[in-house]
A and B are shown apart, each in its own frame.
Chain A
Amino acid sequence: GQNIDQPTEMTATEGAIVQINCTYQTSGFNGLFWYQQHAGEAPTFLSYNVLDGLEEKGRFSSFLSRSKGYSYLLLKELQMKDSASYLCAVNYGGATNKLIFGTGTLLAVQP
């Protein structure tokens, strides 16, 4: 089967750095996405990794290690508006290239 694991909740302080981890065990791999979802809203795209290494985009960076089945999302200079759920999703390929989502990590940023 396909499986994605993320911590359920995390708490961090405004201005700090937080790392949200995601591990996956899937039958194939064709890329990994991170989405942000604020309460009561739809998920929105944050980042995409298909090769090993770090992708940086402003305050957000995402890292991938395919050999370890591991990714993390790094948020720097945390702001209160970063309080949201962060979803890891893996395209495990196959005939339909379907995405499987983790249950998400609820991040609370405190002043």
Chain B
Amino acid sequence: GAGVSQSPSNKVTEKGKDVELRCDPISGHTALYWYRQRLGQGLEFLIYFQGNSAPDKSGLPSDRFSAERTGESVSTLTIQRTQQEDSAVYLCASSIRGTSGRYNEQFFGPGTRLTVL
């Protein structure tokens, strides 16, 4: 079966431009997460969608960052007026549901490598 997919795999943009990153979770997974990972560092939580609940946006670093999810399917992460500090790999993960137990295991996509020149 298909895993989590992300597009584009690589994105190079100029400072000040807007970018949109896409994530297609595993079918049937109600929970979806976005993370940022800078080179050589750990995962930085950005935002979490769980079913029809209001998203947990507590990790978004600034108002330039926003994300949307259509129902329980595709999600897009938008970064406006990109800065060089936004350069990182953006990872998306999904899980069956946002509950306790093994069902919370996250399956990660391959990531989008964003480079802001």
Contact = CB atoms under 8 A, between A and B. Distances in A.
Interface in B5-59: 33, 35, 41-43, 45, 48, 50, 53, 56
Contact of B53 (A41, A93, A96): A96
Interface residues of A, number: 24
Contact of A30 (B104, B105, B110): B104
- Determine the interface band of chain B, counting residues with CB < 8 A from chain A: 20 to 34
Interface string B96-113: 001111101111111100
Contacts of B106: 33, 43, 45, 89, 99
A84 interface: no
B89 to A, nearest CB: 9
A25 interface: no
A62 B48 CA distance: 27
Interface in B64-107: 91, 98-102, 104-107
Interface string A36-56: 000001111100101000000
Interface of A, helix, strand, loop or mixed by DSSP: loop
Contacts of A100: 45
Given A42-B110, A42-B111, A96-B98, A101 B45 contact: yes
A20 interface: no
A104 B104 CA distance: 19
Closest 3 CB pairs of A and B: A103-B42, A30-B100, A42-B108
Interface of A: 30-31, 33, 41-45, 48, 50, 87, 89, 91, 93, 95-104
